[in-house]
Chains A and B, each alone.
Chain A
């Protein structure tokens, strides 16, 4: 019997020492939190303690409640608390995770709830590619992007998508900071780069003009207070006539004011040789 007790003591010691040696403190905290997070109603799976998948079909209130439940656990990890908290959603057919809420300022539950509600409200509106990255105060304002890219689906226009983003933001409580907004529809992207400027209607309508130019594959317009960037991608080198058509479309919608850089990229060429500056002093 004494021998058996000795074996038990050794076994206990071996097990405890083994555990301590095998698993670092941070890893152990992460695994424990991950398993706790998976018990929160609405969490489908938690590949990490700071990365959870939820059902995008759940109503806005449920998504917010789920995210808050996860936040409470992760925020309670003390010194092992991860830098960011990510909530992702996958729709049938998604080739990648395109819908993600990411926050590095989740220590404030009230603000976190507001931020995640803004994201969830756009899912409720029927958007299936919504990315909201909430940055920490002082580091940046974060970015909110909604894409609508399913060829063949009549879907929404870029103006409708941008309007939905602005509407969701207007419904959110007043805040000193606002994220950058961007909308992407069928390869055309518009963005108010600084998060504080409004996009004039003409800029949104520019998409219709550019889409008639069949040699352009995609285009993006990013508006900042001081300078606007227009990036165009096409199949082949531009002829002088094509370059003139593009510039006429931009001028016609008032995009050449106050300062603009227009870059054309030929996707068939090597990147370093492929950029053509059509207007402005692009890098």
Chain B
């Protein structure tokens, strides 16, 4: 009986362990890192409506549809996600966060913030940019023309001004917020859109 059990255990082990090596290709291994990150992100208190995690040879990408999350909820979410990504095997590569308020369609790009890499010592810059992004989305008189891109050294954005406000005063206000957080010469292009 004991021999039967041992033989059965050996068969089970053989079937369970399967092939060695564990991954069929390097790509398969890279993409396998996404699932544990996604599981941990799901346990965060501040949780967007929809979160997707992907991974490839160049790092982890977290894509989140924020719906009506406030600035502080968004910040909590980002601050929860970053250490999870950093702890993953690909966490030493630059992280990519895509935060969106429009899920799909023509407005998807203009409602998306693309966060690339992270330097904790310059965290004020990233979060000031997130605040500017959310304020801009909440302002019916202005609109992003494309993705708003946030990095440690640079911030890039194109904002269309639809309501005929004083564009110089408005751009000075936005740029001042970003400069106060530490950005030097933020690259934000403001374009007036003539009202018909």
The interface of chain A, by Cβ under 8 A from chain B, is 1, 4-5, 7-8, 11-12, 14-15, 18-19, 22-23, 27-28, 30-32, 34-35, 44-45, 47-49, 51, 53, 90, 92-97, 149-152
Q: Mark B2-19, 1 if CB is under 8 A from A, else 0.
A: 011001101100110011
Cα of A16 to Cα of B90 in the assembled complex, Å: 31
5 shortest interchain CB distances as A-B pairs: A93-B152, A93-B119, A152-B184, A95-B116, A47-B57
- Across-interface contacts of B10 in A (CB, < 8 A): 8
Contact between chains at A31 and B90 (CB < 8 Å): no
The docked-state distance in angstroms from the alpha carbon of A97 to that of B116 is: 11
Min distance, Cβ A263 to any Cβ of chain B, angstroms: 23
B118 touches A93 (CB 8 A): yes
Q: List 12 A-B contacts (CB under 8 A).
A: A15-B18, A30-B26, A31-B24, A31-B26, A45-B93, A47-B90, A48-B26, A53-B92, A93-B117, A95-B151, A96-B94, A97-B58
Contact of A31 among B21, B92, B184 (CB under 8 A): B21
In contact, A34 and B26 (Cβ under 8 angstroms): yes
- CB 8 Å contact bits of B130-158 with A (1 = contact, 0 = none): 00000000000000000000011110000
B120 contacts A by Cβ under 8 Å:
yes
Residues of A within 8 A of B152 (CB): 92-95
Q: Are B120 and A92 in contact (CB under 8 A)?
A: yes
Considering residues B57, B94, B119, B184, which has the most beta carbons from chain A within 10 angstroms of its beta carbon?
A: B94
Are the C-beta atoms of B18 and A18 separated by less than 8 Å? yes
How many chain-B residues does the 8 Å CB contact rule pick out?
41
Look across to chain B and name the residue whose beta carbon is closest to the beta carbon of A5.
B7
- Determine the distance from Cα of A150 to Cα of B57 in the docked complex, in whole angstroms: 26
A23 to B22, CA, bound (A): 10
List chain B residues, Cβ under 8 A from A27.
24-26
The SS class assigned to the B binding surface is: loop
Taking the closest CB of chain B, its distance from the CB of A7, in whole angstroms, is 6
Interface check B30, CB cutoff 8 A:
yes
Given A4-B7, A95-B116, A95-B117, A22 contacting B153 (CB threshold 8 A): no
- Complex: chain A residue closest to B90, CB-CB: A45
Interface assignment of B170: CB less than 8 Å from any CB of chain A: no
A30 proximity list for chain B (CB < 8 A): 25-26
Which residue of the partner chain A has the closest CB to B18? A15
Query: B165 near A: Cβ within 8 Å?
Result: no
Q: Establish whether residues A12 and B14, one from each chain, have CB atoms under 8 Å apart when the complex forms.
A: yes
Residues of chain B with a CB closer than 8 A to A8's CB: 7, 10-11, 14
A34 to B90, CA, bound (A): 14
Say whether B68 faces chain A, with CB atoms less than 8 Å apart. no
Cβ contact within 8 Å between A45 and B89:
yes
Rounded to whole Å, the gap between the CB of B62 and the closest CB of chain A is 15
**A19 x B18 contact (CB < 8 A):** yes
The docked-state distance in angstroms from the alpha carbon of A31 to that of B32 is 13
Q: Give the docked Cα–Cα distance between A22 and B28 (Å).
A: 12
Contact yes or no, B29 A31, CB < 8 A: yes
Cβ 8 A contact of B92, one of A44, A93, A95, A149: A44
B1-55 residues with Cβ-Cβ distance < 8 A to A are 3-4, 7-8, 10-11, 14-15, 18-21, 23-26, 29-30
- The answer to whether B25 touches A31 (Cβ under 8 A) is yes
- Encoded as 1 (CB less than 8 Å from any A CB) or 0, chain B from 147 to 186 comes to 0000111100000000000000000000000000011110
Taking A4-B11, A93-B117, A94-B94 as known contacts, 4 extra A-B pairs with beta carbons closer than 8 A to each other, sorted by chain A number, are A31-B24, A35-B21, A90-B93, A97-B94
